[in-house]
Structure 1
Amino acid sequence: MDITIQYTFLPHTDAEASLAFYRDVLGFELRKDVGYDGMRWLTLGAPGQDAAVVLTPPTADPGITEEEGRTIAEMMAKGTYASIVLATTDVDGVFEQVQASGAEVAQEPIDQPYGVRDCAFRDPSGNMVRIQQPS
């Protein structure tokens, strides 16, 4: 089989703040910026890679009820709704740059028992962003 990852989705509560974080802080390139019915979807990816992250309004699916929307908002505020794991060859250097941007630090770089050194931040919408450096 020939299968690759095309997109992954993360919710956002503020398109401009999320764009600034993923583009200006993490260095992703903006590939698409789509607005519809008062909502906005942003597709970003690391330069030179096909896989992309789509930042999406968390309740854009018309099947989500009002109660589910409230639950999603509560989970996003706690940082327990969505996450992404990124990789780098210099987790300490990346940590310094992201921390300097004012991003909320969830975990400073540490060596994990499962063979990576990693750190974690929360993006402007509360999503957990883990950054790993394989051993």
Structure 2
Amino acid sequence: MGIIIHTTFLPHDDAEAAKAFYGDTLGFEIRNEVGYHDMYWITVGPPEQPDVNIVLHPPGADPATTDAERAMIAEMMAKGTYASIMLASDDLEATFARLVEKGADIMQEPTDQDWGSRDCAVRDPAGNTVRIQQRR
């Protein structure tokens, strides 16, 4: 039995900014867009991995989420401590140059880490940490 990563979720609070970052800046495909009332879900993913998806979702959309929890989520997103994702690139330096060129919110330039990888970090428009490491 093989288990794969199919879909993961990250919150967004601005659909157009999320599509610009994940589509234009990172080069991901916009695969699906679903609206419901004032909420919006966007599915994106790398063209080279058609079976791997990131669903950008409205935070606190679950009806079981309380108003206090929604406020906490909004506060954590604003600080950049709510969610993160680790991506990989065949050419970290070129990827980082593109991030700079597109005006991404840089957290860390490419750095050799103590644990053996080389990576950089940016924040997406919702404050999520996006770390990108060099593929081996």
TM tier, smaller: over 0.9
Q: How far, CA to CA, are the matches of 2:91 and 2:9 in structure 1?
A: 25
Aligned with 2:35: secondary structure? strand
Matches within 5 A, 1:81-96: 81-96=82-97
Match in the other structure for 2:28: 28
Question: RMSD value over aligned CA atoms?
Answer: 0.8
Please, what TM-score do these two structures have when normalized by structure 1?
0.97
Deviation at 1:114, TM superposition (A): 1.1
Q: Please tell me the residue identity of whatever aligns with 2:28.
A: F
The answer to whether the aligner puts 1:80 opposite 2:81 as a matched pair is: yes
**Matched length:** 135
Match in the other structure for 2:37: 37
The answer to whether the aligner puts 1:110 opposite 2:111 as a matched pair is: yes
What is the CA deviation profile of residues 94-130 of structure 1, one whole-angstrom value per residue up to 9, with x for unaligned ones? Answer: 0010111111100010001111110000000000000
- Percent of paired sites with the same residue: 59
Runs (4 or more) in structure 1 with deviation over 6 Å come to: none
Aligned with 1:53: secondary structure? strand
Please, what TM-score do these two structures have when normalized by structure 2?
0.97
| Partners of 1:115 and 1:134 within 8 A in 2 | no
Deviation at 1:35, TM superposition (A): 0.5
| Partners of 1:43 and 1:52 within 8 A in 2 | yes
Q: How far, CA to CA, are the matches of 1:132 and 1:48 in structure 2?
A: 17
Match in the other structure for 2:12: 12
Q: How far, CA to CA, are the matches of 2:110 and 2:59 in structure 1?
A: 29
Name structure 2 gaps, 5 residues minimum. Answer: none
Name structure 1 gaps, 5 residues minimum. Answer: none
